[in-house]
Amino acid sequence: MNKYLKITPPEIKRAIYDSFQNKKEGFLQQDLIELMKEEFPILLTIMATQLDKLETILENFFERKNGKI
């Protein structure tokens, strides 16, 4: 199994979710970016090249998790 497909720790999930909540202001949290460079370079590349698609995927994930779907 690809190491990038493992479930991320809750604090990373929270940082990703918070980043997308802050996207309205037009930035990703710098600490998240640094963490992603070290731990999840493939995901960071996807975020940089397909942000809209990834945002939709993450929004759907968190809506399902929170019982909105």
Q: Which two tokens stand for residue 29?
A: 């949290």
5: in domain: no
pTM for the whole thing? 0.28
33: in domain: yes
Q: Range of 22's domain?
A: 10-65
Residue 28: which of 7, 8, 5, 51 has the closest Cα?
A: 51
The domain total for the chain is 1
For residues 38 and 22, give the distance between their C-alpha atoms in angstroms, rounded to a whole number.
Answer: 22
Which residues in 3-32 are b (16+ Cβ under 10 Å) and which e?
eeeeeeeeebeebbeebbeeeeeeebeeeb
* Predicted confidence (pLDDT) per residue in 5-64, tens digit: 455 667 677 777 776 666 655 455 666 677 777 777 777 777 667 777 777 878 888 888
Q: Is 50 exceeded by the pLDDT of residue 2?
A: no
For residues 29 and 44, give the distance between their C-alpha atoms in angstroms, rounded to a whole number.
Answer: 13
2: in domain: no
